[in-house]
Structure 1
């Protein structure tokens, strides 16, 4: 699995309505990142590093930067930090989406700042299903992220 020790490129993903105005043409890498974000099923998430690994290009910071600049048109709340913490300044909006989609959450302790829950990564993390090239991309099996497929 990728090392997702990143802040996701600044504040991370952009909520709807935030970010720069519509672009006539997105960079190819940005289009591919946004395509992956749209594939993530409701109630599931992928980390920035998972998206980069699934694409086989870039890293968590590059994915975070794309999401921060262009992510407002896709389900941005489904691309998350590896530790499951919600994005600062976007927690409440993301939490509404997570609750509406029944995304598994871990309630915050009473001592946690703001008592904001985290995503339960063990249950919410999506492995990407089938890769566009046709090979299975699942954790814990051949062809999963970071593994060679055995024939």
Structure 2
């Protein structure tokens, strides 16, 4: 995956990129969504499209909270991501080499505690 960067076209983002970045900012500390989870939640695009948005525009948002489906850390950014996960208390599989995010415990379905279920579209299968 390319390096995580900021928008370079004068701050104008494609609509899909705005949606992805907005959702990324709403993921609570200590929680994660996979690229596929983000696409499913938004009802548009797929994991590769979400990954592309994060690679091009994700530097200004908590990019480490959007991860691969296998829990592996973003290549080239492992140390920075691991520092963030530990600061936020994100559940990790420390025994793995290298460490991975524990998706069973860290995955966020898009709902906030106490929120009415109709206000947020949960990720399918995590209701």
TM-score, with structure 1 as normaliser: 0.73
Q: Determine the C-alpha separation between the residues in 1 that align with 2:16 and 2:75.
A: 25
Structure of higher CA gyration radius: 1
2:119 alignment counterpart: 134
Task: Tell me if the contact between 2:31 and 2:108 (Cα under 8 Å) persists in the aligned partners.
Answer: yes
Aligned residues: 124
Deviation digits for residues 100-125 of structure 1 (CA, Å, limit 9, x no counterpart): 0000000144xxxxx32000000000
In the alignment, does 2:23 pair up with 1:36? Answer: yes
Determine which structure has the larger helix proportion and give its number: 2
Unpaired segments of 5 or more residues in structure 1?
1-9, 110-114, 145-151
The CA deviation string for residues 40-88 of structure 1, in whole angstroms up to 9 with x for no partner, is: 0000000000000000000000000000000000000000000000011
- Stretches (4+) displaced over 6 A: none
Across the aligned residues of Structure 1 and Structure 2, the Cα RMSD in angstroms comes to: 2.4
Change (3 A) 1:20 1:35: closer
TM-score (norm 2): 0.86
Equivalences for residues 46-85 of structure 1 within 5 A = 46-85=33-72
